């Protein structure tokens, strides 16, 4: 009887140790570091929003969350990096509208709308047509009048051919009957630099980027159907005779094939990050409205925009053959 009790005791200790080891391994695996790839240079609107979420994501996931900037080719290099990553819950991407829903229609890429699992919409911000603070242009009328007198002379810095700012610029040119020269750059930061060094005359940034650099920039028009509550002094393009509404949005995605449990975990973490005090304070400081969609709604939204933007690009004659 004593032997049986001692044996049972040893077996119980061994079993408890095994259970603790399994639980420990599971915890360690769930707390693996997560990298969020931002497909543009540091300092742009997508980067600012991602970094504003970083601390809360880390707290909710109880894991280190690192932000990695992989710029180039209009954001498609970074988004492609996410598509190629292992679907093991260690890699996410902050995928903006352009690389996600327009660039795949412009040229052959190693990904398309089916290459990802969708976590959440993280931001949707209006854009503004911006010029240098010392520009002679004060509104769209000034810009259009100059462009008509000097066809093709105005240089428009765009974050990528086929990006939302580029499409917005094409829409403005079409509506106003003007010609502009488009200069592709790798993100809002380089676009600002091109303005300040005189390489470009205008560009269309995310409203938070504009706000962060308003000491150097002047808005000619807000591209939104109605004024922005956070910045009611920004005059819309619609008020100036041009019905242009081109928000820049983006959200967290993962390589296709992620476990449902991981999708749910990241979706919860995303919502917590957007609802967090520091994130909301950051958005308020930038005078930018926050936005959120859960995984299912975000996927449906992306697929709808993917089809809609294809039609817009086709109309502009930009679809790849």
Predicted local distance difference test score (pLDDT) of residue 286: 73
Per CATH, the architecture of 127-240 is what? 3-Layer(aba) Sandwich (3.40)
**Is the pLDDT assigned to residue 6 strictly greater than 70?**
no
Q: What is the token pair recorded at 309?
A: 């933007």
**Is the pLDDT assigned to residue 54 strictly greater than 50?**
yes
Name the residue ranges covered by the structural domains of the chain: 34-125+248-315, 127-240
**Is the pLDDT assigned to residue 242 strictly greater than 90?**
yes
**Is the pLDDT assigned to residue 173 strictly greater than 80?**
yes
Mean pLDDT rounded to a whole number for the chain: 88
Burial of 114 (0-12, 13-18, 19+ CB in 10 A): exposed
Task: Read off the pLDDT of residues 189-229 as tens digits, 9 standing for 90 and up.
Answer: 899 999 999 999 999 998 888 988 999 999 999 999 899 88
Task: Read off the pLDDT of residues 95-153 as tens digits, 9 standing for 90 and up.
Answer: 999 899 999 999 999 999 999 999 999 988 899 999 999 999 999 999 999 999 999 99
Predicted local distance difference test score (pLDDT) of residue 39: 95
Higher pLDDT, 24 or 62: 62
Average pLDDT of span 286-310? 90
Predicted local distance difference test score (pLDDT) of residue 321: 64
Q: Give one word for 162, left, alpha or beta, with left for phi > 0 and alpha for psi -120 to 50.
A: left
For 100, which DSSP code?
I
Burial of 3 (0-12, 13-18, 19+ CB in 10 A): exposed
Which of these ranges, 27-31, 197-201, 218-222, 270-274, has the smallest mean pLDDT?
27-31
What kind of fold does domain 34-125+248-315 have according to CATH?
D-Maltodextrin-Binding Protein; domain 2 (3.40.190)
> What is the spatial distance between Cα 166 and Cα 181, in angstroms, rounded to a whole number?
11
Domains 34-125+248-315 and 127-240 share a fold: yes
**Is the pLDDT assigned to residue 245 strictly greater than 90?**
no
Sheet holding 116-125, edge to edge: 65-69, 34-38, 91-96, 248-255, 116-125
């Amino acid at each position: 009887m004593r032997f049986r009790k001692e044996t049972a005791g040893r077996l119980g200790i061994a079993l408890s140790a095994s259970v603790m080891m399994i639980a420990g391994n599971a915890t360690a695996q769930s707390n693996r570091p997560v990298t969020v790839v931002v497909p543009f240079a540091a300092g742009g609107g997508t980067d600012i929003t991602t970094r504003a979420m970083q601390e809360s994501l880390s707290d909710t996931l109880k894991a280190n969350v690192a932000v990695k900037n992989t710029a180039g080719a209009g954001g498609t290099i970074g988004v492609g990096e996410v598509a190629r990553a292992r679907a093991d819950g260690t890699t996410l991407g902050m995928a903006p509208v352009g690389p996600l829903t327009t660039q795949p229609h412009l040229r052959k890429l190693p990904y398309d709308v089916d290459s990802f699992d969708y976590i959440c919409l993280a931001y949707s911000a209006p854009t503004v047509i911006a010029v240098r603070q010392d520009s002679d242009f004060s509104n769209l009328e000034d810009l259009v009048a100059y462009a008509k007198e000097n066809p093709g002379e105005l240089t428009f810095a765009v974050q990528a051919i086929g990006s939302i700012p580029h499409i917005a610029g094409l829409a403005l040119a079409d509506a106003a009957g003007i010609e502009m020269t488009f200069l592709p750059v790798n993100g809002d930061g380089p676009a600002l630099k091109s303005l300040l060094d005189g390489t470009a005359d205008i560009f269309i940034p995310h409203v938070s980027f504009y706000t962060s650099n308003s000491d150097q920039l002047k808005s000619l028009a807000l591209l939104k159907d109605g004024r922005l509550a956070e910045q009611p002094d920004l005059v819309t393009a619609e008020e100036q005779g041009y019905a242009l509404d081109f928000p820049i949005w983006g959200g967290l995605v993962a390589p296709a094939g992620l476990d449902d449990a991981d999708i749910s975990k990241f979706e919860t973490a995303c919502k917590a990050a957007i609802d967090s005090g520091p994130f909301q304070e950051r958005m308020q400081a930038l005078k930018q409205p926050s936005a959120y969609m859960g995984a299912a709604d975000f996927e449906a939204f992306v697929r709808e925009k993917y089809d809609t933007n294809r039609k817009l690009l086709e109309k502009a004659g930009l679809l790849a053959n």
